[in-house]
Structures are given as structure tokens and as C-alpha cells.
Structure 1
């Protein structure tokens, strides 16, 4: 489904957590989506789950484009299509979160990237027509694989000022740190793929008047800090020193030194590392395989 243009070895040695990667025509010239597919997704969307929003420098109040209605015996919510379209035409971006759970095509796209990288991914979708983008200049705390599906979009990437941020280390209070000049200023066309390492500043800008739809698949990886915390939950309770009590006036430093002398040997257990990685892998979402792939001529008894 996707051609990354280089081997996994080359990707991890030259790009992963280091440098962006742009692949023109990664989808092989075959359109994966039509605009009618986007409308089909929105038609089936459960608006009550609140995973959809309009942004124009800020979150637009859902009360302005979501309506409550009576559906036989239930009260439901639905998008007011005319209002959503109006906001998009005025420069807002429609953000569809966890699109991988709601669209098999996007789920397969994530699975294809996961096979290449070895990491599980989740994806959000973005529809825009004009304006200044949904979020302005910011960095992500996960690696991003952006795939342009319809239309085109401008991406400006700026070098990181805080490399490899952890999930809680976002850029919201650090906008002034973003470099003035972009390291990469490109247009993504339909079928193109762009890899953005976590921590790289970026902003997206639609071409005025041209509808754009792209998905951003985020790779949520197991960090070294995650592994150490995971080990502490599993290893420390087995060590007598970890079960000891720290108390005022006691020789607490000796207790801690003795425990910390033992920890490197425990942490550097390859079997434990592999168990951690298996658990990370098991948390991923896999595409729904489907039940209707039988022959049109029917099944033989």
C-alpha cells in the first residue's frame, strides 16, 4: 500500500528520531480516497463520542455545528453539514480523531506503517480549505507519518529546540522558542508521505480555495524511561531493599545505595527488555479483517 522509498535499515539509521523524510507518490499513484468517502465517514460518526471538532486558532464551540435530535426512542447528536462546510470555507479545519477506529482504509494505512517501523500507530484526519491551519506552530510528542489523501497542503518544518519530548512535554508554553526559518518548506500532493520526528516544530497551511484531506498517523513508542518505570513495577517488589521503609533519622542513603547497586543488573536483562517490547506491541490496534470476503457465487457446502 505504501512505498517508503528506502529500506527499514536506512530509515532507522538516517531518519527515525533524527530527520524528516519526504516520499513523493508513496501511495503508488492510486487514489485511496474520494471526497464521498469522507462524507461516508462523517455520516456514520457518533458525534456523542466527542472525537470530532472544528478549529480556527481555537476550538469552535460544538453548539454552533452540532444538533440534538429525537431518533425514535433515543436522543442523538448529529453534525449540521451546512454549518460545518461554512466554517471550513471560512478557514476552519475539521479534525477527526482516531480515524483508524472508524475507517478500514485508514486502519490499513496505519498497519502498513506499523509493519515497516515495528511500532503501533493511531491516526487523526484533517479537512481544510483555507486559513492558518488547526494548531499553528507546534511539536508533537510522538513521531508522525502524514499522508496526503486528497488535495494538497503546505508543510513547514523547523528544527527541534527540545529534542525527543516525552508525552507530557508539549510545546504549548514554548511557542517563542520555534526557529524563525523553516528547515523544510514543501507542498504535499495527494499520495505523498512525510515523516516528522517527535520534537520537530511544524505548521500546516492549505492552499487557499483547494480542499485538502490528510491523515496524521502517530507512532506511540516505548521510551527508555517507560521501560525503567515498567521494570520498577515488576522488579522492585522482588527486592528486599525496595520493600524497606524510608524514615526520618534512619540511614536511608545506605538502603538506597544497596538497592541501586543491584538495579543495573536487573535492568540489563534482555529477556525483560523483550517482554516490555512485546507488551508495547500488543497494545496496538489492528484493522478489522472483515467477514464478507466470500465469493459472489456463494459458498460450497
Structure 2
């Protein structure tokens, strides 16, 4: 699966990212997604109290549609279907938290956006059948890619009133400061994608008698504050000034030395690279299993275009090494050349005419087995 972003990665970061909204019509082929995907996800979901929320004139108390039950000695939560269905049919909006953990199509979209933005992602899904069950005007503290999968929905976007909010900042106390006139008022159709930078006020409004389901794929890049916290916790103590006690009056010379030490650390490129690679190596992509291909010795059975992508945001280093999903792997030279021709992220089996098919197939099989590509 590929998303047609309508802009290349370089230009996205140059002119769009955190600067303005961006709309791409028909960005995703949604012909293989319908309500049965949602049904399957809900069937397999081990529901937590915060996984499903219903909104209609405010947040609906979860006791109306969730109940506890005893499951072989363990207390679990289930959805009361009749109440859930009734709310949906009466115009409530329903949100599903971390939907990508239970539904493969949305997880693939999240992985595509992760690779495009070099950021971790999380997916919430929002369903409604008409009605007025909106989640009110608000801003998010992360960037969002909204993708319409079923039906249509109206979106209104407003300029930010608070610059670059972090998770500690909430939009509700600042609602009175939000602009009244939207800068964008559109209908998203199936397959359309809308990028909304953090801090931009927005409303997603169901359309009367129109069924709708969209994904809100949030991106979570590493932040400057993350790097600073990591340096203080893991690096500052390597200098003696970072191991000093604070006793009595604060010594101005000590504070100046500490500031100099911190500046040296955060401006050191090797320190920054160490932090970035560590965080990337800690991340785990959620990829599909392929037992059918494994047992038949044909991993390409379920691969429509015979293309594989890294299950990571990491890049191959100069020595041909990479760490993905906790696995360290070293590529030989001709494999690196193969990946270079395809931007280190995507390579097409059928497109590589100058290499023997068995070599490419064996490499792809090994990487798929190790959960390095999928």
C-alpha cells in the first residue's frame, strides 16, 4: 500500500510541515476497506475503559455502553452492543483509540506516514452516522493526518492562537482565544487526506444522514525537550560539574560551568546522533505475520506488488548495518547497492532486472523472517 501524498518529502518539510494545512484528494485507495474491517477489529479487541468513547452533547458516561464481566477469574470490559448500536444510529460520534493495533489497513497507513514524516504514529478512528456528535472545536498537541475511509465528513480549520503546543498544553482553557472564521471549510470524501499541524484549531462535523469513518493519524517526532531531558539524565554526569552538590547559596561560577557543559553536549553532533539512533532502535513497528508464506516457502504470496519496506525509521549506516525491531543486521555490499537505488526504504523485486531473482528472493525472505521488512 502506498499513499499519494501529492508532494515529495523534501518539499513537505520545507513548505508544509508545522506551517500550514495540506489537502490531497484521492490520496488512498479505500476500495478494500468497509465496515467489516471495523467489525473484525472490535471482535478481537480486549477493550480498556479508554479505548472507546462516545460523544453526543458532551462525553457519554462509559457505563452506558461498557460493562465489566468475569472472565475465568479476571475482570474484563465488554461493549454492550445494543447501547453501542443505539448511540451510533441516533447520531453520536464514536472514537476508537489506537485503532491501528487491531486493524491492519489502518496500521499500514500509519507505517506509511511514519516513513514519510520520520516520526512515530498513533491512530484513532472516528465513526458516525449523521447527527451532531462532534468532538468540539479544539487543537491537538501533535500533527494529524486525517484520512477519510468511509463516507464523507465536513472539516473546518482555524488559524492557531497558541504556537507549537506540547502535551502539557490543553486546548479547552484557550477556546475563547480561538479565531471565529475558518481558513478552510471543506468536505472530505473517501480516500481524501488532510494534514493538520499541531496547534491549528479544527472541527470534524458529521453530515446529516451520511455514514462516516475517518482515521486521525497523529505523528510524534522527537522534540527538543526530549533531547534535553535525555542529555541531563544520561550525559551531564560524565562531567564533574554535573556531579556537584547544590549546597547553600547557588555558586554563580558553578552555574556558568554547568551551562557551558550543557551547551557543549547539546551542540555536539555525535551526541544528537546517538540520541536519535537510540530512540529509533527502541521503537517497534507493528507488522503483519506471514505464516502462509513461511510454510509454503513463498513469502510473496500475499504481496501484491512484491515490494517490501523497512519496519523502522532507522537508516543503514556507512558499514551497512541497521537495527530494526530489536534485530541487528549487516548487509553485504550488493544488497546495500540494491537498497540505495530505492532510497533505502523500498525495493521492488520484479523491477530489479540486473540481479538474479534467487538472490533477491532469498534476501527478502531472510529480512521478512527477521521482521526487518514487510
TM-score by length of 2: 0.74
How far apart are residue 83 of structure 1 and its match? 1.5
Q: CA-to-partner distance for each residue in 1:156-187, whole Å, 9 max, x for gaps? A: 11111111111111212111111010111111
Long gaps (5+) in structure 1: none
Q: CA-to-partner distance for each residue in 1:101-130, whole Å, 9 max, x for gaps? A: 111211111001111111110101110123
In the superposition, relative to structure 1, how do residues 185 and 118 fare at CA in structure 2: closer, same or farther (>3 Å)? same
In the superposition, relative to structure 1, how do residues 280 and 133 fare at CA in structure 2: closer, same or farther (>3 Å)? farther
**In structure 1, C-alpha distance between the alignment counterparts of 2:73 and 2:251, rounded to whole Å:** 64
Q: CA-to-partner distance for each residue in 1:142-168, whole Å, 9 max, x for gaps? A: 110111100111111111111111111
* Equivalent position of 1:289 in the other structure: 288
* 1:229 and 2:225 aligned: no
How far apart are residue 43 of structure 1 and its match? 1.8
Q: CA-to-partner distance for each residue in 1:216-242, whole Å, 9 max, x for gaps? A: 111111111221121111221112122
TM-score by length of 1: 0.91
RMSD (CA atoms): 2.1
* Equivalent position of 2:303 in the other structure: none
Secondary structure of 2:292 counterpart: coil
How far apart are residue 73 of structure 1 and its match? 6.7
Q: CA-to-partner distance for each residue in 1:247-282, whole Å, 9 max, x for gaps? A: 22x352221012212322221111111122223323
**In structure 2, C-alpha distance between the alignment counterparts of 1:117 and 1:276, rounded to whole Å:** 18
* Equivalent position of 1:185 in the other structure: 185
* 1:18 and 2:41 aligned: no
In the superposition, relative to structure 1, how do residues 164 and 132 fare at CA in structure 2: closer, same or farther (>3 Å)? farther
**1:208-287 counterparts in 2 under 5 A?**
208-248=208-248, 250=249, 252-287=251-286
Partners of 1:163 and 1:199 within 8 A in 2: yes
How far apart are residue 97 of structure 1 and its match? 0.4
Secondary structure of 2:180 counterpart: coil
How far apart are residue 4 of structure 1 and its match? 0.2
In the superposition, relative to structure 1, how do residues 274 and 120 fare at CA in structure 2: closer, same or farther (>3 Å)? same
**In structure 1, C-alpha distance between the alignment counterparts of 2:70 and 2:265, rounded to whole Å:** 59
Number of equivalenced pairs: 297
How far apart are residue 27 of structure 1 and its match? 0.8
Partners of 1:93 and 1:127 within 8 A in 2: yes
Partners of 1:120 and 1:285 within 8 A in 2: no
Bigger drift between 193-202 and 256-265 goes to 256-265
* Equivalent position of 1:197 in the other structure: 197
**In structure 1, C-alpha distance between the alignment counterparts of 2:278 and 2:116, rounded to whole Å:** 18
How far apart are residue 283 of structure 1 and its match? 4.4
Long gaps (5+) in structure 2: 299-374
**In structure 2, C-alpha distance between the alignment counterparts of 1:267 and 1:62, rounded to whole Å:** 45
**In structure 2, C-alpha distance between the alignment counterparts of 1:286 and 1:275, rounded to whole Å:** 20
How far apart are residue 133 of structure 1 and its match? 4.2
Partners of 1:119 and 1:281 within 8 A in 2: no
* Equivalent position of 1:91 in the other structure: 91
How far apart are residue 90 of structure 1 and its match? 2.4
Secondary structure of 2:110 counterpart: helix
Partners of 1:107 and 1:286 within 8 A in 2: no
How far apart are residue 98 of structure 1 and its match? 0.6
Secondary structure of 1:47 counterpart: coil
In the superposition, relative to structure 1, how do residues 51 and 251 fare at CA in structure 2: closer, same or farther (>3 Å)? closer
* Equivalent position of 2:342 in the other structure: none
**1:98-247 counterparts in 2 under 5 A?**
98-247=98-247
Q: CA-to-partner distance for each residue in 1:42-97, whole Å, 9 max, x for gaps? A: 12221245411212243212221124456677664322222112112223211110
Bigger drift between 197-206 and 284-293 goes to 284-293
